[in-house]
Amino acid sequence: MNHKKSDEKLRKSRKQQKKIKNEHYTFWDIVLDLLSWIPEIIIWPFRIAFRLIRHLIDGF
């Protein structure tokens, strides 16, 4: 969870710095943002399944 928050802060700060410097959001910025989201997209279904199973087991 902390990793996700730090990634979001990094993306936001990078965008804010570019806005302050009046720079455009480049292709490489998009690539870096996508690369930071790929692990989250891959892990998300497993995390949801794990929590569902854990909830079902704890419920019985």
Tens of pLDDT, residue by residue over 6-25, are 666 766 777 677 667 767 88
Range of the domain at 36: 2-59
Cα-Cα-Cα-Cα dihedral sign, residues 37, 46, 6, 39 = negative
Q: What is the number of other CB atoms lying within 10 angstroms of the CB of residue 55?
A: 9
Domain count, the chain: 1
Q: What is the DSSP letter of 25?
A: -
CA 29, 47, 43: angle at the middle one, nearest 5?
A: 35
- What pTM does this model have? 0.46
Q: pLDDT tens-digit profile of 13-58?
A: 776 776 677 678 889 988 998 998 998 899 999 999 999 999 999 8
pLDDT band at 4 (very low <50, low <70, confident <90, very high): low
